Amino acid sequence: MNEGDLKNKIVSLYEKTATELPNDIVFALEKAKEKEQDIIGKEIIAKILENVNQAKTDCLPICQDTGIPIFYIKRTKDYSEEDLRKIIDEATVIATEKIPLRPNAVDVLTDKNLGNKPIIHFEESEEFKIDLLLKGGGSENVSTIYQLPNQKINANRDLDGVRKSILDAVFNAQGKGCPPYIIGVAVGGNIEEVAHLSKKQLLRKITDLNPNNKLGEFEKEVLNEINQLNIGPQGLDGKTTTLGVKTIFTARHPASFFVGVSIGCWCLRRQSL
């Protein structure tokens, strides 16, 4: 594939990601609508599904906050990182104008708008694959990192401490970040690792099963506990606070125990090329 063709495909990937919610999330919302007993909560989910359908039909962004573009790229030797960055930057400029995407990059010192500036993660692979996540500011603002032990929430360096960290993050978020949420969690001994890996968990389908049976059961238990908090859709009460919880545990330094909690809004826009 030449650079021009790849650039066009990335523009199309942007368009699909911004305007079409993944099928597994749509299905989860439809299922939640059927099960939700709170009248307001059920009506909110119904309106969300109407919005999703309208966006797809009209090929317009699902949400006015089109997010920060985050790319996860499995790169073969056919492309250098430098070439791919150039292609993605050019595709981002085109997509921002064409779709359109809201210009979400602002210079911290000057407050000048810079358009959109993608974040790109690379790894070498036998296959070539691009995952794109458009992460909105509201859900990013309620994402957080815990350092255990944490006396404030009575969380020790164990699985129960991780559980308390997740519940605390959701409880503190309340309706901010647009629930029902999808939550990614990473546990390890390094701040940037848990921040990166917890967000990467949001690429997993809601329907997938954790390869570690113990963590799979943990995810189900925490999901059930979160939905007992009665925060509900948009924080207005109900049993649908979270659609899914996805976790990964890595090795940690003996002195450190970090828990990264990345919260995704109901409008979790992710697609693959």
pLDDT score recorded for residue 198: 98
d(CA 182, CA 198): 11
Q: Is the pLDDT of residue 79 over 90?
A: no
pTM beyond cutoff 0.85: yes
- pLDDT for the residue numbered 77: 87
Residues 6+ apart with CB under 8 A from 244: 28, 182, 183, 206, 219, 223
pLDDT surpasses 90 at 189: no
Residues 221-262 have pLDDT tens digits of 999 999 999 999 999 999 999 999 999 999 999 999 999 999
Q: What is the pLDDT of residue 24?
A: 97
Q: Which residues pair with 106 in a beta bridge?
A: 113
> Got the DSSP string for 201-239?
GGGS-TT---SSHHHHHHHHHHHHHHTTS---GGGSSSS
Q: Confirm if 135 and 67 have CB atoms less than 8 A apart.
A: yes
Tokens standing for residue 265: 């809004």
The first and second tokens of residue 104, run together, are 């979400």
Task: Tokens for 260, please give them.
Answer: 């990264």
pLDDT tens string 18-28: 999 999 999 99
Helix segments in the chain, DSSP class H: 3-19, 23-35, 39-58, 81-98, 137-141, 159-173, 191-200, 213-226
Cα angle for residues 232, 234, 240 (degrees, 5° grid): 25
